[in-house]
């Protein structure tokens, strides 16, 4: 396929990851029409603002009331759409149909690669351009694959924006010269699923328990939840306390302090941080938190206002049998 032959793109997308890709290719002079899940989506709003033809997805019809022959000369592109593309649509694109997927497939095939990347504490990930196939998700041949580091200090929301930029750049690089790609099949024996995480599962994940989880596990959960604008919570003095800024602490002096002075789940103030002893002797640092119906406070202010000598300085969390089972499943997949 020669890049000069691609003039028309039929784009499928919904969220801000999709919009970043669409915005990038829109600047390159392609004739683009778009399909999205609903009229409130970021992709729909972008199209309305920039004059890109757009319609809401209808599973049983080709877009815009056209016939298959009308899509001669088109390339299909899907990025973070949320629905399977009908086979009839895929087969109508004379230049093929590509899927822009934010993982190094076959790792993390499925609807939620980014949450699973963060839950697993991966240090690297990637963006893959692969063939879109009828009746399957993320299983086509790999056309292009780019690797990226994940900075440890990056929050979930920052990782989302970072991925949006990476997806846009990889897509643009592929479209500049698609003839350079060397298609290769995926090794399905190494595949790993990345299914959508339900609201109930997110609620279970958010309720962390330091005596059962390591500092790294809690940190990874916190970054994952930040993708959904959620926070981890602990139980303290019968109240639910949100922990807003957390990170593992590897300072040897702090770890020795935790080893000699604290039991699992117990916390103390050290150098402006709430130091929490977690499973396996690991240590979590907390810099900001919030109690129900209260403003966000620093660790120092929380400790000063609420932690007098008579208050037990321990975070607890009780799980139901089903919640514990869900939690163990997530920890097993890591």
What six digits make up the tokens of 233? 């919570």
Domain that holds residue 134: 3-193
CATH number at residue 271: 3.10.25.10
C-alpha 131, offset from chain centre: 22
- Give the model confidence (pLDDT) of 12-31 as tens digits: 999 999 999 999 999 999 99
C-alpha 19/C-alpha 146 separation (Å) is: 20
40-64 mean pLDDT = 95
Q: Are the C-beta atoms of residues 32 and 24 closer than 8 Å to each other?
A: no
C-alpha 227/C-alpha 160 separation (Å) is: 7
Residue 315 predicted with pLDDT over 90? no
163 plus 278 within the same structural domain: no
Number of domains in the chain: 2
180 plus 58 within the same structural domain: yes
What six digits make up the tokens of 174? 């592929």
| Residue 44 banded pLDDT, cuts 50, 70, 90 | very high
- Give the model confidence (pLDDT) of 261-290 as tens digits: 999 999 999 999 999 999 999 999 999 999
3-state secondary structure the chain: CCHHHCCEEEEEECCHHHHHHHHHHHCCCCEEEEEECCCCCHHHHHHHHHCCCEEECCCCCCHHHCCHHHHCCEEEEEECCCCCCCHHHHHHCCCCEEEEECCCCCEEECCCHHHHHHHCCCCEEEEEEEECCCCCCCCCCEEEEEEEECCCCCCHHHHHHHHHHHHHHHHHHHHHCHHHCCCECCCHHHCEECCCCCHHHHHHHHECCCCCCCHHHHHHHHHHHHCCCCCEEEEECCEEEEEEEEEECCCHHHHHHHHHHCCCCEEEEECCEEEEECHHHCEEEEEEEECCCCCCEEHHHHHHHHCCCCCCCECECCCCHHHHHHHHHHHHHC
231 plus 310 within the same structural domain: yes
278 plus 308 within the same structural domain: yes
Residue 328 predicted with pLDDT over 90? no
183 plus 39 within the same structural domain: yes
CATH number at residue 94: 3.40.50.170
Cis amide bond preceding 270, omega within 30: no
Domain boundary among 193, 224, 243: 193
241 plus 188 within the same structural domain: no
Residue 331 predicted with pLDDT over 60? no
305 plus 226 within the same structural domain: yes
146 plus 234 within the same structural domain: no
- For 220, 289, 334, the CA distances from 236, given in Å and listed in that order, are 21, 12, 27
109 plus 214 within the same structural domain: no
Domain boundary among 128, 159, 193: 193
Number of Cβ atoms within 10 Å of the Cβ of 40 = 9
Q: Are the C-beta atoms of residues 111 and 82 closer than 8 Å to each other?
A: yes
- The pLDDT value recorded for residue 308 is 82
67 plus 165 within the same structural domain: yes
- The pLDDT value recorded for residue 333 is 46
- Give the model confidence (pLDDT) of 85-110 as tens digits: 999 999 999 999 999 999 999 999 99
Q: Terminal CA-to-CA distance of the chain, rounded, Å?
A: 40
Domain boundary among 151, 171, 193: 193
- The pLDDT value recorded for residue 141 is 97
Residue 257 predicted with pLDDT over 80? yes
287 plus 186 within the same structural domain: no
170 plus 300 within the same structural domain: no
What six digits make up the tokens of 136? 């399957």
pTM of the model: 0.92
Closest CA to 27 of 143, 215, 175, 131: 175
């Amino acid at each position: 396929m020669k890049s000069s032959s691609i003039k028309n793109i039929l784009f499928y997308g919904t969220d801000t990851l999709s919009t970043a890709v669409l915005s990038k290719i829109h600047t390159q002079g392609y004739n683009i029409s778009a399909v999205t899940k609903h009229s409130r989506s970021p992709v729909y709003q972008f199209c309305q603002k920039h004059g890109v033809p757009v319609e809401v997805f209808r599973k049983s019809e080709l877009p815009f009331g056209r016939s298959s022959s009308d899509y001669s000369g088109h390339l299909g592109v899907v990025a973070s759409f949320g629905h399977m593309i009908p086979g009839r649509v895929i087969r109508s694109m004379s230049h093929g149909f590509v899927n822009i997927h934010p993982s190094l497939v076959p790792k993390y095939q499925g609807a939620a690669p980014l949450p699973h990347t963060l839950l697993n504490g991966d240090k690297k990930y990637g963006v893959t351009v692969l063939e879109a196939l009828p009746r399957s998700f993320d299983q086509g041949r790999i056309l292009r694959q780019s690797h990226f580091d994940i900075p440890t200090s990056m929050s979930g929301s920052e990782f989302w924006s970072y991925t949006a930029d990476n997806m846009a750049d990889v897509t643009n690089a592929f479209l500049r010269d698609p003839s350079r790609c060397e298609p290769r099949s995926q090794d399905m024996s190494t595949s790993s699923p990345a299914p959508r995480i339900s609201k109930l599962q997110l609620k279970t994940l958010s309720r962390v328990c330091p005596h059962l989880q390591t500092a790294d596990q809690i940190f990874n959960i916190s970054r994952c939840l930040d993708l959904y604008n959620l926070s981890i919570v602990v139980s303290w003095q019968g109240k639910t306390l949100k922990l807003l800024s957390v990170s593992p602490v590897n300072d040897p002096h702090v770890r020795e302090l935790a080893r000699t002075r604290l039991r699992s789940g117990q916390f103390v103030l050290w150098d402006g941080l709430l130091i929490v002893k977690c499973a396996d002797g690991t240590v979590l640092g907390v810099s900001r938190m919030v109690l129900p119906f209260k403003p966000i406070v620093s660790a120092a202010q929380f400790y000063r206002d609420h932690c007098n000598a008579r208050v037990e300085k321990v975070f607890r969390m009780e799980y139901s049998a089903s919640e514990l089972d869900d939690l163990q499943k997530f920890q097993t997949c890591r």
